[in-house]
């Protein structure tokens, strides 16, 4: 059987921009806390961000992590003595405040994410050049399937894997399943830890996208040697197709 050439895309912050959904929810939550307890919005966001990052090891990409980070922020802010400043909230019980906070967090997963303006064009170009295209995304199944189904170019994809965590095993299994020509196939994503390093370790070519996420702010991981790092997906076709036609 002939091996096939693939381009595998990460989804969140690669094909779609999910960041604004989380930022909006954090802002809404910070506003609620400010109205409730006369606390500083920026401080609420700082505490929530810190807790969210800490919870990542335990919860991974689950929807529960984000909601949990809101709940723990409420508890922490209340424990350091913020007080009710607004009559509207005088009767609001702590547990109700937590419920409201969790509801704001969960709203992120019901909303349609924003596809980058260039995503459809990039995927189409690559598919037309003869590559099979796929998505491998980490997260909770119902959320990721919904986001995948919302893609305008959904029908171009040959496969979509939703996994709890992306590691070498996942990329390796994908390549075995589809008899992938590893040396002539690519992984495109914004996460060094979940996309670039594991894919690169099993021999796939990789292109790193410099989307802002916790990891890029953290700065501990480095782009592997020989892996191009570009601003966004729109720069990808010339890199891949340039090499293919060279
Ligand atoms: Mg991503």
What separation in Å is there between the alpha carbon of 190 and the centre of ligand 1?
5
Write the DSSP string, 131-155: -EEEEEEES-HHHHHHHHHT-TTGG
Query: What does each of the 246 residues of the chain score in pLDDT, given as a tens digit?
Result: 689 999 999 999 999 999 899 999 999 999 998 887 778 899 999 999 999 989 988 887 788 899 999 999 998 888 776 555 555 555 567 888 899 999 999 999 989 889 999 999 999 999 999 999 999 999 999 999 999 999 999 999 999 999 999 999 999 999 999 999 999 999 999 999 999 999 999 999 999 999 766 555 556 788 999 999 999 999 999 999 986 554
**How far does residue 233's CA lie from ligand 1's centre (Å)?**
12
**Interior CA angle at 36 toward 29 and 84, to 5°?**
155
- Secondary structure class of 187 (helix, strand, coil): strand
Distance 82 CA to ligand 1 centre (A): 36
| Residue 7 · residue 153 · CB < 8 Å | no
3-state SS class at 208: strand
Give the global pTM: 0.86
- The pair of three-digit structure tokens given for residue 147, joined into one six-digit string: 């986001």
In which element (H, E) is residue 51 found? helix 41-59
- With CA atoms as reference, report the closest residue to 66 among 136, 10, 143, 13: 143
Max Cα–Cα distance, the chain, nearest Å: 72
Task: Give me ligand 1 centre to Cα 225, in Å.
Answer: 20
Ligand 1 geometric centre to CA of 12 (Å) = 4
């Amino acid at each position: 059987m002939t091996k096939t050439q693939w381009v595998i895309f990460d989804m969140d912050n690669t094909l779609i921009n999910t960041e604004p959904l989380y930022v909006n929810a954090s802002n809404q939550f910070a506003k609620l806390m400010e109205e409730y307890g006369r606390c500083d919005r920026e401080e609420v966001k700082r505490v929530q961000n810190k807790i969210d990052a800490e919870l990542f090891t335990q919860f991974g990409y689950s929807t529960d992590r984000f909601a949990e980070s809101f709940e723990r922020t409420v508890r922490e802010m209340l424990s350091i003595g913020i007080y009710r400043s607004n009559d509207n909230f005088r009767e609001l019980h702590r547990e109700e405040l937590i419920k409201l906070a969790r509801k704001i967090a969960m709203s992120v997963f019901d909303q349609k994410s924003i596809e980058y303006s260039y995503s459809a064009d990039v995927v189409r170009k690559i598919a037309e050049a003869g590559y099979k295209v796929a998505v491998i995304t980490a997260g909770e199944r119902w959320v990721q399937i919904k986001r995948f189904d919302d893609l305008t170019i959904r029908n171009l994809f040959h496969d979509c894997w939703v996994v709890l965590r992306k590691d070498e095993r996942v990329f390796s299994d994908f390549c075995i399943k589809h008899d992938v020509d590893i040396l002539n196939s690519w992984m495109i994503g914004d996460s060094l830890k979940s996309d670039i390093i594991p894919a690169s370790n099993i021999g796939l070519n990789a292109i790193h996208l410099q989307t802002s996420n916790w990891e890029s702010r953290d700065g501990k991981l480095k782009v592997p040697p020989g892996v191009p790092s570009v601003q966004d997906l729109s720069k990808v076709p010339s890199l891949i197709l340039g090499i293919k036609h060279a």
